Amino acid sequence: DTGVSQNPRHKITKRGQNVTFRCDPISEHNRLYWYRQTLGQGPEFLTYFQNEAQLEKSRLLSDRFSAERPKGSFSTLEIQRTEQGDSAMYLCASNGQVTYNEQFFGPGTRLTVL
Amino acid sequence: DQQVKQNSPSLSVQEGRISILNCDYTNSMFDYFLWYKKYPAEGPTFLISISSIKDKNEDGRFTVFLNKSAKHLSLHIVPSQPGDSAVYFCAASANQGNMLTFGGGTRLMVKP
């Protein structure tokens, strides 16, 4: 069990470009969550999947954001037409093997939009 | 509307003493509470949790207390060690966990 992994760890992009992040959850975890964390704040929920189904989306997830989990394993989060306000740490978490209470986080992808 | 609040942005304690981190919540639907520890450039690491049917949960040096009537929980670390220096986040969930709602964090510094 290697834990939740996220790629890339860092991404610098210019405003208006599209970016895509990947999350690989802990094996056999059927729930996968995306959060965003800005400086000095706690993580904020974006969306979550149970297997391949996207079950909940936050109002923070504007129409420029889309997330997929096509085969119920890894997930991608795409941001189209990035804005400077999108600069943040994007965190992925998973759970479900034993309990749905504790969530286990990856190291995050830090996005900087210039 | 912040549903989970950590009112102390930072806390400094001496090695060996007790660290007490506090958290308040407003949503009475929350039924599960968690503490996470976060080092710079890493994701949050799960530390300890408590269900709303309990008022105390202990794991080694870490104890979480829940006061439902006051909508308040606290994390006690005894004895504090320099390696405990990190940002601690309180989080809450409702109905067997879908989303976690986090507080803003408290930076703990344990001085040798």
Considering CB atoms only, which of B6, B41, B44 is closest to A43?
Answer: B44
Task: Answer yes or no: do A43 and B89 touch at CB < 8 A.
Answer: yes
Distance, in Å, from the CA atom of B67 to the CA atom of A23, rounded to the nearest integer, reads: 36
More confident of the two residues B96 and B74? B74
| Angle at A97 (CA atoms; ends A94, A99), nearest 5 degrees | 85
| Angle at A102 (CA atoms; ends B66, B40), nearest 5 degrees | 95
Distance, in Å, from the CA atom of A21 to the CA atom of A90, rounded to the nearest integer, reads: 9
**What are the DSSP calls for B17-36, one per residue?**
S-EEEEEEE--TT--EEEEE
Please indicate if any CB of chain B lies within 8 Å of the CB of A2: no
Residue of B33, B87, B99 to mutate, interface with A, max A Cβ within 10 Å? B99
Please indicate if any CB of chain B lies within 8 Å of the CB of A103: yes
Question: ω into residue B79 within 30 of 0, thus cis?
Answer: yes
> Considering only CB atoms, which chain A residues are within 8 Å of B49?
101-102
Burial of A97 (0-12, 13-18, 19+ CB in 10 A): middle
Query: In one letter, which amino acid is B31?
Result: D
Binned at pLDDT 50, 70 and 90, residue A71 comes out as confident
Task: Answer yes or no: do B4 and A56 touch at CB < 8 A.
Answer: no
The tens digit of pLDDT for each residue in A9-39 reads: 999 999 999 999 999 999 889 999 999 999 8
Is the pLDDT reported for residue A93 higher than 90? Answer: yes
Strands A53-57 and A75-79 come out as: unpaired
Query: For residues B20 and B75, is the Cβ–Cβ distance under 8 A?
Result: yes
> Considering only CB atoms, which chain B residues are within 8 Å of A105?
36, 43-46
Is the pLDDT reported for residue A1 higher than 70? Answer: no
